[in-house]
């Protein structure tokens, strides 16, 4: 192996133990770093040198390995400088991941004017409900593939541990899981791009998703929806486009009336917001989305000069 690849392994180990002891000193619960065997250690990194990308020939040269033909699915950004190359294994798929530094944008050209804002409530019945009433359907990729996944897992359980049939069946199980993961990721990429292109200010509620998935009745559905991944994709795309993403308090967003501000108690089964004080009747998620937008400090500051409440039609069809 290339010397810097081996040095990077020690850096990873050092970083892991530093993070472990840092959590211990702060009194947080931390699991002892786990040894990664050959079936769990799935990547290695060239941190500075030892690799060369030939864009025209679609080849990648790796020191001590040689020339590899690749599918360059995404061009290296203009004026971008490749700093590191990580080779990642996903059972029977291999990926080359490049970390690229980009020149700083010109000052004053990054932030867009806050002309159109949107408040977003994430959910399970509808993946997104916007404050203007639009909804985005929840594709439920895992639910649609559960029978196929269960079938492959039953076959896996019947094989003998350590056998060749076990290894072949492991790959089949991984392929089903990978397809579900890729479907979800593709949908989130397209949806986040649409949001960033249509709106100048995107307001989410600041959810503690790690606490929400502790509910055994909702954990699978919440994980299948992938709220955190969608928010992450929206945030980094917005940073490139000059769009502002804001997170507001999630406290009582579903209980508060968006018109009069009174508390209207509801259970999870109550899907309609009917305020006895002002007579407002909306779906629960629509009411929450309006409340989320109203809590935005950027929306309040810019609403006097910007037509922030005017929504645009948004439709993303899962594929």
Answer whether residue 203 shows pLDDT above 90.
yes
- Check residue 302 and give its pLDDT: 54
Q: Which two tokens stand for residue 187?
A: 């949908």
> Residues 167-191: what's their mean pLDDT?
95
* Domain residue extents for the chain: 3-101, 117-142+183-302
Q: Which residues are catalytic?
A: 121, 205, 285
Considering the domain 117-142+183-302 in this protein, what is its CATH number? 3.30.420
- Check residue 230 and give its pLDDT: 96
pLDDT one-digit tens code per residue, 88-111: 998 889 999 999 998 876 554 466
Q: Indicate the range of 57-71, 201-215, 305-319 predicted with least confidence.
A: 305-319
3-state secondary structure 214-263: CCCCCHHHHHHHCHHHHHHHHHHHHHHHCCEEEEEECCCCCCECCCCCCE
- Quickly state the pLDDT bin for 307 (edges 50, 70, 90): very low
Mean pLDDT over each residue of the chain, to the nearest integer: 88
Handedness of CA 22, 24, 28, 31 (dihedral sign): positive
**Angle of CA points 282, 285, 288, to nearest 5°:** 90
**Between residues 111 and 175, the one the model is more confident about:** 175
- Check residue 279 and give its pLDDT: 87
How far lies 34's CA from each of 16, 87, 88, in Å?
A: 10, 21, 19
Q: Smallest Cα–Cα separation from 121: which of 286, 248, 260?
A: 286
**Between residues 291 and 303, the one the model is more confident about:** 291
Q: Which two tokens stand for residue 258?
A: 């968006």
Torsion of CA 15, 18, 23, 29, to 10 degrees: 70
- Quickly state the pLDDT bin for 317 (edges 50, 70, 90): low
pLDDT one-digit tens code per residue, 16-50: 999 999 999 999 889 999 998 888 899 999 999 99
- Check residue 108 and give its pLDDT: 47
- Check residue 98 and give its pLDDT: 94
pTM for this predicted structure:
0.83
């Amino acid at each position: 192996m290339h010397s810097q690849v081996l040095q990077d392994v020690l850096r990873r180990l050092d970083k892991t133990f530093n993070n472990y002891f840092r959590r211990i000193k702060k009194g947080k619960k931390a699991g002892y770093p786990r040894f990664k065997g050959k079936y769990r250690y799935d990547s290695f990194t060239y941190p500075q040198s030892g690799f060369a990308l030939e864009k025209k020939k679609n080849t990648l040269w790796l020191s001590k390995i040689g020339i590899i033909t690749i599918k360059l699915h995404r061009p290296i950004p203009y004026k971008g400088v490749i700093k590191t190359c990580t080779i990642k294994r996903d059972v029977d798929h291999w990926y080359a991941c490049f970390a690229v530094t980009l020149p700083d944008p010109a000052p004053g050209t990054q932030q867009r004017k806050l002309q159109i804002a949107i408040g977003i409530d994430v959910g399970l019945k509808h993946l997104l409900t916007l404050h203007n009433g639009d909804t985005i359907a929840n594709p439920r990729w895992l639910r649609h593939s559960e029978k196929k996944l269960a079938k492959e897992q039953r076959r896996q359980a019947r094989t003998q541990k350590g056998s060749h049939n076990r290894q072949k069946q492991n790959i089949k199980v991984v392929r089903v899981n990978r397809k579900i993961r890729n479907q979800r990721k593709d949908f989130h990429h397209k949806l986040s791009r649409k949001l960033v292109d249509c709106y100048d200010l995107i307001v989410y509620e600041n959810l503690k998703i790690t606490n929400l998935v502790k509910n055994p009745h909702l954990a699978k559905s919440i994980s299948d929806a992938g709220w955190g991944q969608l928010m992450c994709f929206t945030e980094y795309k917005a940073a490139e486009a000059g769009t502002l993403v804001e997170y507001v308090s999630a406290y009582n967003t579903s209980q508060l009336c968006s018109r009069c501000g009174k508390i209207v108690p509801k259970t999870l089964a109550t899907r309609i917001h009917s305020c006895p004080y002002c007579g407002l009747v909306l779906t629960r998620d629509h009411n929450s989305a309006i409340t989320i937008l109203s809590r935005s400090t950027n929306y309040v500051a810019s609403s006097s000069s910007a037509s922030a409440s005017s929504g645009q039609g948004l439709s993303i069809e899962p594929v």
